[in-house]
Structure formats: C-alpha cells, structure tokens
Structure 1
Amino acid sequence: MTPDDENDADRHFAATLAHGIDILLAYRPGEVLLGNRDFVQRTGLSKSTVARLTHTLVVLGYLRHEPSLGKYRLGAPVLAPAYPLLASMQIRQVARPLMERLAGEVGGAVSLGVRDRTQMIYVETSRSTDDLVVTPDIGAALPMLTTAIGKAWLCRVPAALRDPVLNRLRLEDADAFRRAEPRLAQARRELETKGYCSNRAEWRHDVFAFAVPLCRRVDSQWFVVNCGVRAPPGAFDAIQRAVGPRLVTMAHALESRLGLHETTGL
C-alpha cells in the first residue's frame, strides 16, 4: 500500500487541504517562481486541480501571482504558522550558545534539526562565517538517506517510528533506497562505537558532516545536532577526529542542560 492509498483509506483525511499544502511545499531552495506546469509535475495533480488550488492560495495570500510571467511566488503568510512553533522550542535558546561556540571552534556550521515526513528540517543554526560551501538556514530541508543528520535520526528513533519512514523512502525511490541501505547499516555501527554518524561527502562532494541524535525526545520530537564543514580532498580522517568528538561533547552538554538524563526530563 502506498502513502496515497493509506490516505484514501482514512475517511477523516482532507485530501484538498493536503494537496494545497503540497503546492506550497513544491518550492525548492533558491527557487523564487513556479508555474502551474511545475506544480503539476511535482505533485502529480491534474492541471485543473492545480489551477483551482493556486487561485485559492493567491486569494488567501499564500501565493503571489506574477501575471506577466504566469508564475507564482510564495507569500508572506507562509511564514506565519512557523513562528509560534519556533518560538515555543525552548531547546533552540538552550542550544544556541553551545552551537555558536562549536561552530567557531571547527570553522563550520552547527545546526539543530527535526524530521518532516521524509526529510530533515533545520530549526536552528549557527555558523562561524558566511563563506561556507553550504550556508544553512532555519527551514532548510535535507534528504534523510544521504545526510549525516538524516541517518542519525533513523539510527536513534524507535522502530515503530523509523519503519514507516523507511517504507516511504523505499516507495519514493527504490533505487536510491537500495544504494543507501549499506550506508545506513554502517551508520548504526558508527553511532554505537563513536557516538555520531558521518557523511563523507555523500550528499555534496564539497561537504563533510557529522550528526548526533539526542538521547531522548524533547517536546515529543527527536532532535539531531549536525555539524558541516568544508571537505578538502583527503582530509576526512583528520576532520573527523577534530569535529566528531567535539560534537558528541556538545550534544551531551545540551542534554544535561535540558535535563534529559534525569528521570523526569523534558
């Protein structure tokens, strides 16, 4: 059964609402304008359905229509639902000084992320400089199978939460899932022995990354701390020794500040 089949079997599922959200989620980093043809290709919806949804989203302000181009920009109201969520995440305020310190020590970017369907989303980030190969920002989305942060989440969470996500990833791209399976098994061993998962330029050829999942949930979510640095040729082992243990230490400090090692932690 596919995810769409599961939704069709749920009589409480509002398909029109879900399709409208899919339109808003069709934008990728760096993209400003998309047209109805783009939405059709990325969502699999019919032309007529997309036309109705984009019209409605324009009326509500979530999209801004550019008549001369026949395309749409995201509107400011898209930001409004995110603010209450971010403002309520106490972990961001607690983690920020620790993240800033580590980013300065390793000359990279340190981020805090959670899962969104089959990807990871940054909810906080600190960087030592803007002169980075990848400049992460709040709201940036990363794939799960080819990033350290995604593998760390998959290696930490309980099977009841992990297995449905793995199934969706398999259905989305069976070939990519098959290629990633050995690396995921390696990531589990790495987390057990070193306390972190690594990404040896798998997602981007110019970035090494390391990630540590927190030991327990915070506000019902599993958070992961991630650190990305430039990837000079042949330098992975040295960077791993310099960054990996520091990230583990930072994650443990964050857990202590949050009281996660106490029986009545968050």
Structure 2
Amino acid sequence: MPRVQPPQTDAEDGSKDDRHFVTALARGLEVLSAFKPGETLLANHEIAARCGLPRSTVSRLTYTLTKLGYLHFVEEAGKYRQGTQLMALGSVALGGLSVRQIARAGMRELATFSDGTVGLGVRDRLSMRYVECLRGTAAISLNIDVGSRMSMARSSMGRAYVAALALDERAALYDELSRVDPLAWPKLQQGLEQALEDHRTLGCCCSFGEWQETVSAIAVGFRPGGGLDPMVVNCGAPTVITSPDFLLKDVRPRLIALARRLEGVMGA
C-alpha cells in the first residue's frame, strides 16, 4: 500500500522564509487542528502523522498545550483530548461573529420551508467549516452540526465560497489546492469552473452527489463586511427526501434572497 503523505503545513510551504512567521506557533495550531469532528482522543503518534511533524516535536507541543489548558492528557488511555481552554476560546470566537445571530431567523425560516439543513460556513484553510446550522422537521437529515468540515472543491458551500472571491484571491486559492494533490487537481478545477458558470447563470452553486453521493445541496456566497472573508449560506438534504429540482426551483430564490440580506451586515 502506498504511503499517504501528510498535509503540507504553513511552516513547510515557504512561510519559514518569512521573518515575521512564528513556526512554533504554527505547529501548535496544527496540533490543535488535528482533531476531527466526532473524535475524542488522539495519541502523539497519531497527531504526528496528521501534522507531518516528528513525534519528539509533537510531544513538546502537546506538553505545552496541556500546561496551558488547550489539551488534556487522559492517563488511562495515554492520549490527549481537547481542553476547556480551547472550548472557551472557540465560544468567544463564535460569540463575536454576530452575523450568526443576524442570519439565524432567515435560516430557520428556510430550513422549515425546505425541510432540509441550512448552514452558515466560513473557510478553514482548504476546507469549509460550519459556524451555524439549523434543520427542518424532516425525520431524515444531514449528519452535520456546528464545527463540521467539508470539501472546498466538491461541496456546494466550498464552491460558493470560491465564486465569492475576487480574481486574485481565487488564483491564490487555486494555487494552494493544486499543490495539495496535483493529480486530482484538473478534475477538481473543472468542477470549480462549472460552479462559477452555475453562479453566473443560476445565482448559486450546486453539488448533487459530488460531496456525498446521497446528498444534494445548493449554496450562495456573500461578503459580510467588517473586514471578514466571504461567508456562505447553503441548503441541503438527503436525496431521498429532497430533489435537485426542488432545490433549484423552490429553494434557490429564497436562498439567494437570504444571502443578499446578509451582504455587508457587519460593515455597519
């Protein structure tokens, strides 16, 4: 079986030549980012494999982060879990993102109308992360919640984020994505270019079975202002209860209207 290459960190992609760049800080944040939704415990060797760092380096980082309260060492398991200080920091960050509160009423209305899952997302390096999520009343829904991550190139949310970027911002993102997996990039770029065309003609970006085979979703990006990067609002559901046709014909106008209401709200 071929060896899986660990993701390239900022400290390895040329940032180390920047005299303002603090490599130790970047590596500490890489360690904290190694935890995925649904995971509780990670050992040093698991973190090292995900971050592409030596185990000795990871051991020093996890020790320091534990001392500061960002990680907690579970002795009986010999592994680390996220600490209360990290949870508090995340709560403060989300609390300061008041666009969540502004968007919530419209998102709830759309979730009720569509019987789907309506989410608000931001970029998380080369993925997208949910910062708000509301569901309709359907018995079957997407297994997504606040903090969930998804593909930048294959999800409707990621594609809408790309469509909301300026040309120079999009070129820089394309460069980053292409370096992660050069072999897969041509097909991913083709999907993104189709998403840009969808955005021009439909006013939204789509992902019908491309992020997950059984999921259909559409999304619209917007710039909230206040110095924040573009954000995205999306609506999706399992294909067994929601068809692409319903999303495009009935949900799309409401989703676009919601995104337009959120445009520039943080600028005030």
Which residue does the alignment assign to 1:188?
A: 196
Which residue does the alignment assign to 2:186?
A: 178
The answer as to 2:122 corresponding to 1:114 is: yes
- Quick check: 2:220–2:234 contact (8 Å CA) kept in 1? yes
Shift of 1:217: 4.2
- Quick check: 2:115–2:138 contact (8 Å CA) kept in 1? no
Shift of 1:46: 0.4
Shift of 1:81: 2.1
1-structure distance, mates of 2:26, 2:121 = 23
Instruction: State the secondary structure of the residue aligned to 1:139.
Output: coil
Where in structure 2 are there 5+ consecutive unaligned residues?
1-7
* Counterpart residue identity of residue 105, structure 1: F
The partner residue of 2:105 within 86, 93, 97 is 97
- Quick check: 2:207–2:216 contact (8 Å CA) kept in 1? yes
The answer as to 2:228 corresponding to 1:218 is: no
Which residue does the alignment assign to 1:262?
A: none
Residues 139-218 of structure 1 mapped to structure 2, 5 A cutoff: 139-214=147-222, 216-218=223-225
Distance change >3 Å, CA 235–CA 86, structure 1 → 2: closer
- Quick check: 2:116–2:138 contact (8 Å CA) kept in 1? no
Aligned length: 259
Deviations 1:229-262 (A, max 9, x none): 1112993334432322221122223338x39xxx
Which residue does the alignment assign to 2:5?
A: none
RMSD between aligned residues? 2.2
Taking structure 2 as the reference length, the TM-score comes to 0.89
The partner residue of 1:61 within 60, 65, 69 is 69
Shift of 1:112: 1.1
Distance change >3 Å, CA 254–CA 14, structure 1 → 2: closer
Which residue does the alignment assign to 2:248?
A: 240
* Counterpart residue identity of residue 16, structure 1: A
Identity of aligned residues (%): 37
Shift of 1:131: 4.2
Deviations 1:143-170 (A, max 9, x none): 2001001111111211222222221111
Instruction: State the secondary structure of the residue aligned to 1:134.
Output: coil
Taking structure 1 as the reference length, the TM-score comes to 0.89
- Quick check: 2:116–2:141 contact (8 Å CA) kept in 1? no
* Counterpart residue identity of residue 183, structure 1: G
Which residue does the alignment assign to 1:43?
A: 51
Where in structure 1 are there 5+ consecutive unaligned residues?
260-264
